[in-house]
Every structure is written in structure tokens, then in C-alpha cells.
């Protein structure tokens, strides 16, 4: 849990972090960064080191505002990942939608507070993900972990995530993951650590509010 503050500082500085889920779940490492800071350079970096399948976790409330319905009526995914329809930014600067420049613009559009449904076209090249309203206490996935990290960092609750892979296309794990993190000077946190930090943070907030009420 000692790494969580470092991860939050990295996110505030516009850098990605690596989040590892439970070994008995997907046991995968995702690179996560704040969507509001998704520059062309960082998106290109993420594409280069991952499967290139970029997703954008956001709240149900924001998804509703942007009119992003679920991709399918009956979700058969093993972990119930809540994909919506894919989107591109409705911007004159968008070309085909697949380049790092185009995808970074779409990601930032999803994160912008003043964005509405008219600022997006459907389908596109970015896949938003609806986070559960109950967050990590309801679902221990990278989607919810990303939103919780943004909340703790006091950033817009929209992130960009992708699964790290090796040069041969396999999921990055073990020593190869450790070496990648060291080489790129990244912070690694586990979802279980985020949950513990979240609980401590919420308890601290409750305590502060109680003390304030007693004054």
C-alpha cells in the first residue's frame, strides 16, 4: 500500500502506472493513466507496449450523459466487462480514428467535463467501459480500479487502460513485468492495495467530518 501515494502522484503528473489484479482472476498487468492527460506521445507509448486495444473506463453517469449504451444486451464475458459501443471524437482533426493522435483526442474528449453526445461519433476506435456504481467493492476489475485511482488523485474520473504484453505478444508477467517497470520507471500497485487504501481514506474522511460536526 506504500506505493499508492507514488501512483497518485504519477497520475497527477500525467504519467501512467501499472495495476495488477488478483492472481485468481485475470492475473494481468494493465497500464493506466488519466484520460485528461492522454497526449499523442503517451498514447503512442501505450499502443507500442500493449495489445493496442485501448479502453476508457468511466462512470455509468458519464456514459449516460454521452449516450453510450452497452455493446450487447446480454453480456457473456467471463468477468462481465461492461463495454459500450465504440466511439471517435467528432472533431475535424480526426482522420481515420486509429492513429495515436486521433485516439488521444477521442480519449480526452471522453474526459472533458463539457463533452456531450454530439462530441462523439459511433462506431469508432476507442472502447469506453462502464464502471460499476459500487466500484471495487462490487467488482475487483481494472475498470473500477482505474476510476478509484482517479478519484483518489482528484482527477476527472475517466482513464485509459490497456493490457501490457511482451514483444512476442504474450501477457507481461513475472520477471519480464518487473524489468519493464524498472526500465520505464513506473509505479506498480495491486488492486488489493487500492481497496485497502480506499477504505483507509474513506474512514479518514468520516473521522474528519465527525470531528468537524463536534466543533
Q: What is the pLDDT of residues 79-133, one digit of tens each?
A: 999 999 999 999 999 999 999 999 999 999 999 999 999 999 999 999 999 999 9
* Domains in the chain, number: 1
C-alpha cell at 41: 506521445
Find the catalytic residue in 55, 144, 190, 197: 55
Segment 38-42 mean pLDDT: 99
Determine the length of the chain.
Answer: 215
> Taking the model in full, what pTM does it have?
0.92
- 142 included as an active-site residue: yes
Segment 130-144 mean pLDDT: 97
- 114 included as an active-site residue: no
Q: Look up residue 172 and give its DSSP letter.
A: P
Nearest one of 177, 85, 71 to 124, comparing CA atoms: 85
Q: Domain range holding 126? A: 4-214
Which CATH number goes with the domain that contains 153? Answer: 3.90.870.10
- 167 included as an active-site residue: no
Amino acid at each position: 500500500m506504500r506505493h499508492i501515494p507514488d501512483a497518485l502522484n504519477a497520475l497527477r503528473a500525467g504519467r501512467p502506472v501499472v495495476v495488477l489484479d488478483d492472481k485468481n482472476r485475470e492475473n494481468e498487468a494493465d497500464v493506466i493513466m488519466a484520460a485528461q492527460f492522454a497526449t499523442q506521445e503517451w498514447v503512442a507509448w501505450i499502443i507500442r507496449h500493449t495489445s493496442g486495444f485501448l479502453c476508457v473506463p468511466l462512470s455509468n453517469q458519464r456514459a449516460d450523459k454521452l449516450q453510450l449504451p452497452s455493446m450487447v444486451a446480454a453480456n457473456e464475458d467471463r468477468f462481465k466487462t461492461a463495454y459500450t459501443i465504440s466511439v471517435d471524437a467528432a472533431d475535424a482533426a480526426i482522420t481515420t480514428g486509429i492513429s495515436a493522435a486521433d485516439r488521444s483526442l477521442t480519449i480526452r474528449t471522453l474526459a472533458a467535463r463539457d463533452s456531450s453526445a454530439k462530441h462523439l461519433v459511433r462506431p469508432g476506435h476507442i472502447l469506453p467501459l462502464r464502471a460499476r456504481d459500487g466500484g471495487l467493492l462490487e467488482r475487483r476489475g481494472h475498470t473500477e480500479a482505474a476510476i478509484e485511482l482517479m478519484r483518489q488523485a482528484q482527477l476527472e474520473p475517466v482513464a485509459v487502460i490497456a493490457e501490457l504484453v511482451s514483444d512476442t505478444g504474450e501477457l507481461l508477467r513475472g520477471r519480464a513485468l518487473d524489468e519493464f517497470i524498472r526500465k520505464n520507471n513506473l509505479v506498480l500497485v495491486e488492486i488489493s492495495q487500492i481497496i485497502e487504501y480506499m477504505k483507509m481514506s474513506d474512514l479518514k474522511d468520516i473521522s474528519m467530518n465527525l470531528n468537524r460536526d463536534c466543533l
